[in-house]
Amino acid sequence: MSERLQPGDTAPDFTLPDADGKDVSLAGHRGRKVIVYFYPAALTPGCTKQACDFTDNLDLLAGAGYDVIGVSPDKPAKLAKFREKESLRVTLVGDPDKAVLEAYGAFGEKKLYGKTVTGVIRSTVVVDEDGKVERALYNVKATGHVAKLLKDLDVTSPA
């Protein structure tokens, strides 16, 4: 079981392939805040809802200085299909060997329909401009999470 990150920790750097097979690294976002969210699988109902919520609020988040990166164990081809099917604008990267998921504490035991299973723990880590963890949220809900995050980060739509 991987350790969960705490505010103030240095966010583990990563470089993973996006839906087009191009490398995306956390270091490439230095100077901007980054919301890194971890989800179990592309093209599933909850993950689709969450990715669409992030896409719908992407301009608002970008305006407040946040970039968004979604991480799942999926391969780039599946991510590309997900992006096209749902018209997603968030950056999606694949971590098939789960090394980044584990480094962020987003892979391990969880409850699923009352059973204990090992898998991706739906999580969101907010990283500041210097690469430090600002917040680490684990076992988040797919529905309503983005709205709560906007409220917690005090990101509001311009009046």
User: Could you give the residue numbers annotated as active site?
Assistant: 47
Burial class (CB in 10 A: 0-12, 13-18, 19+), 119: middle
What is the torsion angle, in degrees rounded to the nearest 10, for the CA atoms of residue 120, residue 77, residue 15 and residue 138? Answer: -20
Which amino acid is residue 113, in one-letter code? Y
In the DSSP assignment, the letter for residue 40 is: S
Centroid of chain to Cα 141: 13
Question: DSSP string of 58-104?
Answer: HHHHHHTTEEEEEEES--HHHHHHHHHHHT--SEEEE-TT-HHHHHT
